[in-house]
Amino acid sequence: MAIFKGAGVALVTPMKEDLSVDYEKLEELVNFHVENGTDAIIICGTTGEAATLSHEEHLDVIKACVEYTKKRIPVVAGTGSNCTETAIYLSQKAEEYGADGLLVVSPYYNKATQDGLVKHFTAVANSVKLPILLYNVPSRTGCNILPETIVKLVKNVDNIVGVKEASGNISQVAKLMELAEGQVDLYSGNDDQIIPVMSLGGIGVISVLSNIAPKETHDIAAKYLEGDTKGSLELQLKYLSVINALFKEVNPIPVKKALNLMGKKAGSLRMPLTDMSEANTAILEAEMKKVGLL
d(CA 255, CA 290): 16
Phi/psi at 36 (nearest 5 deg)?
-115, 20
The end-to-end CA distance of the chain, in Å, is 38
267 contacts 52 by C-beta, under 8 angstroms = no
DSSP character string of the chain: --S--EEEEE----B-TTSSB-HHHHHHHHHHHHHTT--EEEESSTTTTGGGS-HHHHHHHHHHHHHHHTTSS-EEEE---SSHHHHHHHHHHHHHTT-SEEEEEPP-SS---HHHHHHHHHHHHHT--S-EEEEE-HHHHS----HHHHHHHHHHSTTEEEEEE-S--HHHHHHHHHHHTT--EEEES-GGGHHHHHHTT--EEEESGGGT-HHHHHHHHHHHHTT-HHHHHHHHHHTHHHHHHTTSSSTTHHHHHHHHHTT-------TT--PPPHHHHHHHHHHHHHTT--
Q: What is the pLDDT of residues 52-73, one digit of tens each?
A: 999 999 999 999 999 999 999 9
pLDDT for the residue numbered 61: 98
User: Residues with Cβ < 8 Å from 235, sequence gap 6 or more?
Assistant: 216, 219, 220, 223
- Told to judge if 5 belongs to the known catalytic residues of this protein, a careful annotator would answer no
Domain range summary for the chain, segments of one domain joined by +: 6-228
Quick one: pLDDT at residue 1? 82
10-residue mean pLDDT profile of the chain (294 residues): values are 96 98 98 98 97 97 98 98 98 98 96 97 98 97 97 98 97 98 97 98 98 98 98 98 98 98 97 97 98 97
CA distance 289 to 262: 10
pLDDT at 32: 98
CA distances from 198 to 50, 118, 180 (A): 27, 26, 15
The answer to whether the beta carbons of residues 236 and 191 sit under 8 Å apart is no
Q: Considering the entire predicted model, what is its pTM?
A: 0.97
Catalytic: which of 164, 223, 256, 257?
164
Q: Per the residue annotation, which of 68, 135, 187, 224 is the catalytic one?
A: 135
Burial of 35 (0-12, 13-18, 19+ CB in 10 A): exposed
If one counts every other C-beta atom within 10 angstroms of the C-beta of residue 272, the result is 8
* CB atoms inside a 10 Å sphere around CB 101: 24
Rounded distance, CA 219 to CA 238, Å?
12
Q: Is 135 a catalytic residue?
A: yes
| Domain made up of 6-228: CATH architecture | Alpha-Beta Barrel (3.20)
Q: CA-CA distance, 12 to 256, in Å (whole number)?
A: 7
| Chain CA centroid to CA 240, Å | 18
Give the model's pLDDT for residue 290: 98
Which conformational region is residue 168 in: left (phi greater than 0), alpha (psi within -120 to 50 degrees), or beta? left
What was the pLDDT predicted at 165?
A: 98
pLDDT digits (tens, 9 = 90+) for 268-281: 999 999 999 999 99
